[in-house]
Structure 1
Amino acid sequence: MLSQRVTVLIADDMVELRSNVRRMLANQGNIEIVGECSDGEEALKIAKELSPHVILMDINMPKLDGLKATEILAKERPEIQVVIMSIQSEQEYFRRAMKAGGKDYLVKPFSASELIDTIQNVFNKWVKDRLELEKATSPKAFVFTFFSTKGGVGKTTLAVNLAVNLAMKGKKTLLIDCSLQFGDVACTLNLAPVKNLYTLIKKEDMDYQGLERSITQHSSGLHLLLAPAEPAFAEEIKAQNVKQVLELALPRYQFIIIDTPPHIGEVELAILDQTDLVLLTATLEISSLKNTKLVLKTFSDITFEKEKLKLILNKEIQNVGIDCKDIEAGLAIPIFATIPMDSETAQRSLNQGEPFVVKFPESALSNAIEKIVSQVSVDEKDPKKAIDDSVLFKLRRILFGAKT
């Protein structure tokens, strides 16, 4: 079933045929007849004025026949899809119709179901082809994924403030809360929306319009796709759903920030497969560093590029017996950024539901976020490098014992 209204123009010199088509489509709420005409010249004129999605074009009409009119439309208005109608069922007529630029062929007389199916199929194929072309030619968003091996390290706070920072710079940014059971992005920003990732995937219209309707906008200009309102709904969101959401969002944003749980499952693997940089967040606690080393080993066992792993040391405190150089040596990865310990600023920001980059723009925490943004050199005009297609499979094999 179509989720978008399809506009149709009927071009046929037989009044009875036009009346029959109107009758067949009368109860189709998602198909609207916007006009009708009786010759090819008028069909061209009305088509250019009304821009219908589909034209039902008779093959033989006065002044200008349907095939010639179709050829002209294919050159001048290729976005209009033409279905040729004819009493001729021979293959030669079908071949000529397709050569002229027709998208399908209806042999008269046809049934209501044949007509409706043809309109739907032609329109759906056009939508699919348009999306594929858009995906192939549009610049793709640069994707940051925040990951940590345990809760309480400040990962969500950093993700929110980085996303808000980018949005305030005029960058079209989407923050997705993929901590599906207990996501805190909405709470961090003092939001209580009804729409979220769960309401999106439960809709029939899993398209860009559906995505737009599921977005919550923050006062900074940041777009948010939030976690489900109830933990039980998380189980209904599958890896394929997340992949579809990212495919819809990638051509439409400059930056996508994804907050993930301290867990690697099928959903997280789908996210990693689309990620440009993993911002691995840890603290100076021994347990955090130990688990960080374990997850780094997991990444080292696959073809995920090491350059895409960036270690962020949060809540840094001097003179606690652990030196940054020792951490880098022990984890075999350089520290990409350090975030100073400033519990008062962070807590006041959280309690007021306002990011510290907004509430306390001159704070050490805000300066640290600004430094991260400046360190990540992203040329948005260059196509991003795709992660090896085998990453998802190899991760599944390592984590779940998938068979080769």
Structure 2
Amino acid sequence: MATVEKSARIAVMAVCLDATSYQAVLHFISGVPGTVMVGNLDHYVGVEREIGRALDLAHIRICFIDYDQNTEEALWTTERLRSEYPDVHSFAVSAYSEPEAIIAAMRAGCAEYLLKPMQHERVLDGLARVVAKQKKQARSGVRGKVITLVGAKGGTGVTSLALHLALELSDQGKRKCLLVDQHLALGDASLYLGMGRHQYSFYELAGNGDRLDEELLKGFLLHHSSGLHLLDSPEAVDAIHGAPPSAVEHTLAFLADTYQFVVVDCPPGLTDGTRACISQSEQVAIVMTAELPSVRNTVRYMEHLSRLGYNSSSIHVVLNRHSKKGPLSDERIEKALGREISLRVPNSYNEVIRAINTGAPITSANKSDFGATIQKWAHELASSAGNNKVKAMAMAAAQSDGGMRAPFSR
């Protein structure tokens, strides 16, 4: 029989457990140091936030849900918990052992399915599995860097920059790197890489937050010949539901524990999902072009993120398709922004379009200005020190002068 470590600090909540089962859980966990029962709620609907608040300070959070009083509402509660509080582990408790009942509970998000009358060994084994899972995640090493790219408007070339940056980061030092296509539907990253689409998307992975581990992740990944991994966007045109911000944050935190670099390709606009990505990011690139709508939106993005308390030193402006003879001068753009342009990516439009159409990305071996810029960008990211999150107390960022400065160093 597995044992639960003394330092686990486990908080337990019950939902609609019958008296016998509730007393059994109380008895079983009484022998586990650092474990406390918070209470037994007498209703299903709308309890997820109450559970989240009650268990908030615990290191490990577990909820026993009785599936016999009202199976439909129990399933709904489990799904809501998985969506809103993915680090709360749901244990289904039921007298029914039919495979259909077990499968339905597990699909809803249950980590364990316990039969009545509950057995001491089964309960402790379930607790031990949860503790072991979190301990493994904590041991996974230094947190990787999450780099989020978002366009000031549509058509600024975010996907192309994101995938080329991810490929270069993966290639330099053969690092473990992941590209996340965060578009709600019909993202282009897999197409640009010349790969077929995956049947599952980033959002479906985020919907399984309570079961996140490396084994589950493997079933969602596309593998590029370069060694880069990709989490695809939904393929369906009407796939617009995405995942709650809390689920996106939880999933990116897990991915950062798994990869050295996670590059996120976001759609234009500061949606809830994009802000969730930014909250988990060490670096954020607002990608713009030299046109007035793009400049205006970039200013608005920076103002909005500043009001939300994001660290301005970690938010950078990338001017894509840069040309010295462009419609707006660099000086005029920087005056409007009130800050320097962090990185200028040369206008290699025909070269990039050719790479997109052939599914053969540009590499540093191509010896192009575009490839050289991406290579230097990746090098600066890999060399920069520190792993602070973007949302932190404002601090002054050291600025270097002249040429193409280290755009993402701190």
Cα 1:343/1:327, change in 2 over 3 Å: same
Q: Is the deviation greater in 278-287 or in 325-334?
A: 325-334
Larger radius of gyration: 1
Q: Quick check: 1:315–1:340 contact (8 Å CA) kept in 2? A: yes
Q: Considering only aligned residues, what root-mean-square deviation do their CA atoms show, in Å? A: 3.3
Q: Quick check: 1:198–1:234 contact (8 Å CA) kept in 2? A: no
Cα 1:118/1:224, change in 2 over 3 Å: farther
Q: Which residue of 2 aligns with 1:341?
A: 347
Cα 1:97/1:378, change in 2 over 3 Å: same
Q: CA deviation at 1:274?
A: 0.4
SS in 2 for 1:231: coil
Q: Which residue of 2 aligns with 1:4?
A: none
Distance 1:302 1:114 in 2: 48
Q: CA deviation at 1:379?
A: 5.6
Among candidates 373, 380, 389, match of residue 386 of structure 1? 389
Q: Quick check: 1:173–1:255 contact (8 Å CA) kept in 2? A: yes
Q: Which residue of 2 aligns with 1:302?
A: 308
Task: Within 5 Å, give how 1:132-211 maps onto structure 2.
Answer: 132-137=134-139, 138-169=141-172, 170-192=174-196, 193-201=198-206, 206-208=211-213, 209-211=215-217
Distance 1:178 1:95 in 2: 41
Distance 2:334 2:249 in 1: 33
SS in 1 for 2:253: helix
Task: Within 5 Å, give how 1:73-88 maps onto structure 2.
Answer: none
Unaligned runs of 5+ in 1: 1-53, 56-69, 79-92, 100-110, 392-404
Q: Quick check: 2:283–2:315 contact (8 Å CA) kept in 1? A: yes
Q: CA deviation at 1:373?
A: 1.4
Distance 2:351 2:287 in 1: 19
- In terms of fraction of residues, the more helix-rich structure is 1
> Which whole-Å deviations, capped at 9, do the CAs of 1:215-242 have from their partners, x for residues lacking one?
1111110111110111322314332332
SS in 1 for 2:321: strand
Distance 2:187 2:179 in 1: 12
Q: Quick check: 1:179–1:260 contact (8 Å CA) kept in 2? A: yes
Q: Quick check: 1:142–1:254 contact (8 Å CA) kept in 2? A: yes
Among candidates 124, 129, 132, match of residue 131 of structure 2? 129
> Which whole-Å deviations, capped at 9, do the CAs of 1:270-293 have from their partners, x for residues lacking one?
111101111110111121111111
SS in 1 for 2:194: coil
Among candidates 313, 319, 322, match of residue 325 of structure 2? 319
Q: Quick check: 2:363–2:371 contact (8 Å CA) kept in 1? A: yes
Q: Which amino acid aligns with 1:370?
A: Q
Q: Which residue of 2 aligns with 1:239?
A: 245
SS in 2 for 1:171: coil
Q: Which residue of 2 aligns with 1:250?
A: 256
Q: CA deviation at 1:322?
A: 2.4
Cα 1:269/1:368, change in 2 over 3 Å: same
Among candidates 363, 366, 369, match of residue 361 of structure 1? 366
SS in 2 for 1:232: coil
Q: Which amino acid aligns with 2:380?
A: Q
Distance 2:359 2:289 in 1: 23
Q: Which residue of 2 aligns with 1:374?
A: 379
**TM-score, length-normalised on structure 1?**
0.65
Cα 1:379/1:123, change in 2 over 3 Å: farther
Aligned-pair identity (%): 23
> Which whole-Å deviations, capped at 9, do the CAs of 1:7-61 have from their partners, x for residues lacking one?
xxxxxxxxxxxxxxxxxxxxxxxxxxxxxxxxxxxxxxxxxxxxxxx35xxxxxx
1:351 lines up with 2:357 in the alignment: yes
**TM-score, length-normalised on structure 2?**
0.64
Q: CA deviation at 1:261?
A: 0.8
> Which whole-Å deviations, capped at 9, do the CAs of 1:305-329 have from their partners, x for residues lacking one?
1110111111011223522122222
Task: Within 5 Å, give how 1:2-17 maps onto structure 2.
Answer: none
SS in 2 for 1:234: coil
Q: Quick check: 2:150–2:286 contact (8 Å CA) kept in 1? A: yes
> Which whole-Å deviations, capped at 9, do the CAs of 1:81-137 have from their partners, x for residues lacking one?
xxxxxxxxxxxx9899768xxxxxxxxxxx993576544432332233234334445
Cα 1:390/1:311, change in 2 over 3 Å: closer
Cα 1:121/1:265, change in 2 over 3 Å: farther
Q: Quick check: 1:143–1:255 contact (8 Å CA) kept in 2? A: yes
